[in-house]
Amino acid sequence: MNGTIQNRDAFLSKIAGRLGREKRVTGVERPKWSFNPQDAVLKEADADELLEALKTQCTKIHTDLVVTNADNLTETLKEIVAQYGGGPVVTWKDDRYRQFGLTPLFKEIWPKEKVEVYEWDFSEERRNIDYAEHANIGITVSEITLAESGTAVLFSSKDHGRTVSFLPAASIILIPKSTLVPRMTQAARIIRERVNSGQLAPSCINFITGPSNSADIEMNLVVGVHGPVKAAYIVIEDL
């Protein structure tokens, strides 16, 4: 579907006139800044140092962080779900769960333990949202993870419903250690490179920093008003 642009030339010409010049139609280039302080933050940090920065930040944003490996991921996830009160659990439809070795947990172990698990199914439309609303825990996967702010970046698609991360009472985000970057600067660059390479842009990009936090004018913090009351990051060291 192609949109229609109306009155653009007249609008730009009016602005140029107010600036006392003709409208520029050629020769416009992205400026080259003399200083780029955003690139200096955690510039020399390796993956282990980024992980330490993430751990420190999580203590400030009411977020539980657990470090594990692929072999122990199933048990780690089971423990955190139990700590948060068990199911119902809602997940994306994502092959990475299988790659992480979680299929037996979702399809066999939890059902036997009477823990209800629902996998997002875009064909079910409204039912997905209803289930996410009544789920206790939503489990998602971070595409990019910002160490400085403790932020997980989630890409929405037809199989990755955005309500999975914010309608349940608690959110558990799986974080492959390889997704760690210093800050928003690198995340924006990665997203831009993906789009420029021809990859389809996500329908929505969510930057999630711990559980939902709100404060009134008197700075009284309330957790969980606009999203999960609890949040946990599970960092998988060997992924």
- Structural domain includes residue 51: yes
* Average pLDDT for runs of 10 along the chain of length 239: 70 88 78 82 89 96 95 96 95 96 96 95 92 95 96 95 94 97 94 89 91 80 83 95
- Parent domain of 74: 43-236
The reply to whether the predicted model has a pTM over 0.75 is yes
> What pLDDT is recorded for position 169?
94
- Structural domain includes residue 170: yes
> What pLDDT is recorded for position 219?
77
> What pLDDT is recorded for position 1?
41
- Structural domain includes residue 141: yes
Q: What per-residue string of b and e applies to 110-132 under the rule 16 or more CB within 10 Å gives b?
A: beeeebebbbbeeeeeeebbebb
- Structural domain includes residue 13: no
- CATH number of the domain to which 51 belongs: 3.40.50.10420
CA–CA separation, 135 and 153 (whole Å): 21
Based on the structure, what is the number of domains in the chain? 1
> Contacts from 154-157 at CB under 8 Å and sequence distance 24+?
154/205, 154/206, 154/208, 155/202, 155/204, 155/205, 156/202, 156/203, 156/204, 156/205, 156/206, 157/202, 157/203
- Structural domain includes residue 168: yes
CA–CA separation, 131 and 90 (whole Å): 7
* Tokens linked to 219: 């700075």
- Structural domain includes residue 70: yes
CA–CA separation, 223 and 211 (whole Å): 7
- Structural domain includes residue 10: no
- Structural domain includes residue 12: no
The pair phi, psi for residue 186, each rounded to 5°, is -70, -35
> What pLDDT is recorded for position 3?
55
